[in-house]
Amino acid sequence: MGTGKAAKKTQMPVWPIFAWGVAAGVYASMPSGTWKWDVWFTYHPSAMMISFVALGASAALVKKRGGYENTKLHGTLMLASTLLAGIGWYAIYRNKELFGKPHLTSWHAWLGLAALGAYGLLFAVGLVALHPDIGVKKTSKVLRWWHKWGGRVATALAWVAAVVGFNNMHASDLVRQGLFASPLLVASYFSLL
Ligand code: HEM
Ligand code: HEM
């Protein structure tokens, strides 16, 4: 455990950002005000927010606490995050196919795709190289640095994508945009730095 600011971050509870990620995801999935089970779109913002915010931030915070068990929990949470991100992508892909719309046509889509690709890669590298039991390069300082900063940048990209996606849907509502983005800004200080 470190000292000062770093030590405080290792003691951050996981539940506030986890709860906010779930709540904001569910909210963003209901642009009409109701949860529509039979609409593919419903499962896009909710899955993505639970994946990249609730699970992604929790996994990063857990890793900051250090130790064998926490590293394994970090990997497990990131596995859940990566799988759920795949579901979130499939939901919007099917939604677009259904309406005959072209794919990857916005900043939101490109930023989101970059985050998805990076998470897949980071998971593979984490499992093969950094896992405390089976990692083949777990003592490499260089690889650990790249994984850490790659993970931070990928998560930040996903959060920017989420804000852009939400703002696109609530274009003239600055208050709602601010309420959606500000918790992410606060959480990024604690979980991504
Ligand atoms: C949290 C991270 C998120 C990621 C990684 C992500 C990723 C993506 C990707 C890759 C696409 C393109 C799908 C395609 O073209 O086939 C897309 C489309 C879309 N997403 Fe997201 N998304 C996220 C969050 C959100 C949120 C929070 C909302 C809205 C509240 C949202 C709304 C949309 C909409 C409306 C589209 C279709 C229009 C477009 O392509 O820009 N997304 N998203
Ligand atoms: C989608 C997959 C993953 C992402 C996005 C990711 C992201 C991150 C992030 C952001 C950190 C820095 C945490 C901090 O601020 O201290 C980190 C550290 C770390 N992760 Fe992952 N991770 C992923 C998968 C894994 C897996 C599967 C393992 C293996 C169990 C793993 C092992 C580690 C280790 C050992 C560190 C510490 C590196 C160091 O600072 O020395 N990660 N990861």
Q: Note the pLDDT tens digit of each residue in 117-151.
A: 999 999 999 999 999 999 999 999 999 999 999 99
More confident residue, 3 or 159: 159
**What average pLDDT does the segment 159-186 reach?**
97
Pocket lining: 158 vs ligand 1, CB cutoff 6 Å = yes
CB 163 within 8 A of CB 176: no
Mean pLDDT of the chain: 96
Q: For residues 113 and 111, give the distance between their C-alpha atoms in angstroms, rounded to a whole number.
A: 5
Pocket lining: 63 vs ligand 2, CB cutoff 6 Å = yes
Q: Which atom of ligand 1 is closest in space to residue 113's alpha carbon?
A: 10
Pocket lining: 127 vs ligand 2, CB cutoff 6 Å = yes
**Fold that domain 4-192 belongs to in CATH:** Four Helix Bundle (Hemerythrin (Met), subunit A) (1.20.120)
Pocket lining: 121 vs ligand 2, CB cutoff 6 Å = no
| Nearest alpha-carbon partner for 119 in 163, 159, 68 | 159
Pocket lining: 112 vs ligand 1, CB cutoff 6 Å = yes
**What average pLDDT does the segment 74-86 reach?**
98
Reading the block at residue 107, the tokens are 């900043």
Residue whose CA lies nearest to ligand 2 atom number 29: 131
Residue whose CA lies nearest to ligand 1 atom number 4: 112
Pocket lining: 169 vs ligand 1, CB cutoff 6 Å = yes
Per-residue model confidence as pLDDT tens digits over 96-119: 999 999 999 999 999 999 999 999
Per-residue model confidence as pLDDT tens digits over 53-72: 999 999 999 999 999 999 99
pLDDT for the residue 9: 78
Q: For residues 123 and 192, give the distance between their C-alpha atoms in angstroms, rounded to a whole number.
A: 17
Residue 1 has pLDDT above 50, yes or no: no
- Spell out the residues 6+ positions from residue 87 whose beta carbon is closer than 8 angstroms to its own: 43, 47
**What average pLDDT does the segment 161-182 reach?**
97
pLDDT confidence tier of residue 5, bands split at 50, 70 and 90: low
**How far does the centroid of ligand 2 lie from the alpha carbon of residue 62, in Å?**
10
pLDDT confidence tier of residue 159, bands split at 50, 70 and 90: very high
pLDDT for the residue 6: 66
Q: Which atom of ligand 2 is closest in space to residue 135's alpha carbon?
A: 29
Residue among 61, 147, 152, 190 to mutate when testing ligand 2 (max atoms within 8 A of CB)? 147
**What average pLDDT does the segment 38-45 reach?**
98
pLDDT for the residue 192: 96
Which ligand neighbours the alpha carbon of 46 most closely? 1
Segments in the chain forming alpha helices (H): 4-10, 15-28, 43-49, 56-65, 68-98, 107-125, 141-169, 174-192
